[in-house]
Structure 1
Amino acid sequence: MPAFVQEIRIQLPHIDLAARVYGPEDGQPVLALHGWLDNCMTFELLAPKLQGLRIVAIDMAGHGHSGHRAPGAGYQLWDYALDALMATQQLGWEKFSLLGHSLGGIVSVLIAASVPERVERVALIDGLVPDTGEADKAAKKLGEALLAQIDLAAKKKTVYASIEQAVQVRMRGFMPVSQLASELLAQRGLSPVAGGYSWSSDARLTLPSPLRLTMAHAAAFVQAVQCPMLLVLAEQGVLVKEPQFMQFLNTLSLDVQRLPGGHHLHLDDEEGAQAVAEQVQAFFSTQ
């Protein structure tokens, strides 16, 4: 482990969160939030390239080395937002900035919009707003989510014979990543079990959302952000493939920088991490 990286635990009243800390103690405080089914190793290539920042990259609840939520609890966006805000209080940060990838970017927007007096800057990597759903589909979606939650108890996690097999499968997942990215995520995401290895993330993370924000809700949250906000958009990522999202993006007054690479462009290779770092560094260096 590099000398400038620390492992810490943040004890909240309802859950313990694990985190990796990068950068000098007197750097600008930045809370880094990773994507769905990833962990804080998603920032392992990027964070060391950012100067003057004190980056605390947490494993969000149910991911990595952090605790899982209690039985009966869930993993809604606002639950993550509460965890993050409470974590900054434990860290003694009156004001802070946010660095979020994918799901972590969505949660970052919710936090910045909801408590604007606490947030100084928001840097997003291929994440801005969640998948939305309009009112006429709400009842059907809730029914699907409730039944999926009931059925989850009968499902078993996949066990891989080796770490290498798990890495290869993760590379070809819903959001494909490079071998380097998969290996880094596996370092923190795999646990030994009977017969091999399994991802330690909470199985409830795969459940469908019982209720989605409408497009009007999503727009209102983005428009409520009062601090400077940067979106690094991956040209081969998931967002640019969604016509509705791109139409929505064109209606916003937002600093958008497009870079080559996939959804995990900051983690897939050193070149992508450097390109993202240059944009993020410039963003945090401006007055």
Structure 2
Amino acid sequence: MTGIFEEVHLRLPHITLAGRLHGPEDGTPVIALHGWLDNASSFARLMPRLPGLRVLALDLAGHGLSEHRPAGGLYPHWEYARDVLQVADQLGWERFSLIGHSMGAIVAAQLAAAMPERVERLVLIEGVVPPESAPGHPAQRLGKALREQLAHGTRRKPFYASVDQAVRARSLSGLPVTESAARLLVERGLQPVEGGFTWRSDNRLTLTTPVRLERAQAMEMVLRIECPTLLMLAEAGLLAGLGDLLERLPFERVRLPGGHHLHLDDDAGADLVAACINRFFTPP
């Protein structure tokens, strides 16, 4: 069940972003943000199961069919947040809700905390705060990032002789997904090159982040979220070890069977996630 999507391209002052729009024109406005190195197809199974919502699933900058940042630019979370606000302005959405997965959930949480007047409701799927950096080593992190940036021009993207080879590679990556989920992501994330295929995504996305929020800073930020928030956790997901931290968050929490991409891996997972989201958006 993937439904029919309207492909959109949104020209912002600094970049053009692509996305998929689904749902009734008078539905509740929602912007959906995917995870690192994924794309708008991350929500292909979920969106048709949210009948009351008008959902724009964005390809974040550097991902999917969206443009890459200009030469010399990078991809900090706050730049994604600015992009989302400008997209909402272009759509005429003064207030809107956010659904985020993984990195997209981290961006969504930070945006909701920083701009409470803009965000109505917040759904976080398998993400809430950035991964914790090793304490006491900011200089080493910055040095590693700078060296990678200087050497960036010599790095090459992976090459695949066939689409099926790319699907297998994506399904067995560091954040594994089912083969059917990988095929959905690959259909939007792959581009032809001479003799085969490679990823559309910007190679700079794999560079070390120069500066990362400390855990205390990240927690202070999300604790300032004012809107109703639903945090969805997978039993075999990436947040299983954050029990004490999650207990401090004043969010509604739901734990569901599945892995990190539970909303995309199969129809059963999408059904469970959608049921929780639909209840969350239904007034009491």
| TM-score in same-fold range (> 0.5) | yes
Partner of 2:39: 39
Residue 193 of structure 1 and its aligned partner are, at CA, apart by 0.4
Partner of 1:280: 277
| Identical residues among aligned pairs (%) | 50
Partner of 1:270: 267
Partner of 1:230: 230
List runs of 5+ in structure 2 lacking aligned partners: none
Residue 286 of structure 1 and its aligned partner are, at CA, apart by 3.1
- Aligned partners of 1:134 and 1:215 also within 8 Å: no
- Aligned partners of 1:4 and 1:23 also within 8 Å: no
Partner of 1:113: 113
Residue 134 of structure 1 and its aligned partner are, at CA, apart by 6.5
Residue 155 of structure 1 and its aligned partner are, at CA, apart by 1.2
Deviations 1:157-209 (A, max 9, x none): 11100000000011100100001100000110000001200011000000111
Residue 246 of structure 1 and its aligned partner are, at CA, apart by 2.3
Q: Hey, what's the Cα distance between the residues in 2 that align with 1:119 and 1:251?
A: 21
Residue 137 of structure 1 and its aligned partner are, at CA, apart by 1.5
Partner of 1:167: 167
Q: Hey, what's the Cα distance between the residues in 2 that align with 1:260 and 1:74?
A: 35
1:229-248 alignment to 2 at 5 Å? 229-240=229-240, 243=241, 245-248=242-245
List runs of 5+ in structure 1 lacking aligned partners: none
Q: Hey, what's the Cα distance between the residues in 1 that align with 2:2 and 2:101?
A: 23
- Aligned partners of 2:2 and 2:48 also within 8 Å: no
- Aligned partners of 1:134 and 1:213 also within 8 Å: no
Determine whether 1:77 maps to 2:74. Answer: no
Residue 136 of structure 1 and its aligned partner are, at CA, apart by 1.9
Quick one: which amino acid aligns to residue 60 of structure 2? M
- Aligned partners of 1:132 and 1:218 also within 8 Å: no
Deviations 1:213-252 (A, max 9, x none): 0111111111111000001101111111xx3x22211222
Quick one: which amino acid aligns to residue 239 of structure 1? L
Q: Hey, what's the Cα distance between the residues in 1 that align with 2:134 and 2:189?
A: 34
Partner of 1:103: 103
Q: TM-score, normalised by structure 2?
A: 0.97
Determine whether 1:254 maps to 2:251. Answer: yes
Residue 133 of structure 1 and its aligned partner are, at CA, apart by 3.0
Q: Which of 143-152 and 195-204 deviates more?
A: 143-152
- Aligned partners of 2:33 and 2:57 also within 8 Å: yes
RMSD: 1.4
- Provide the aligned length of Structure 1 versus Structure 2: 284
SS of 2:42's equivalent in the other structure is helix
Quick one: which amino acid aligns to residue 183 of structure 1? R
Quick one: which amino acid aligns to residue 175 of structure 1? L
Quick one: which amino acid aligns to residue 69 of structure 1? R
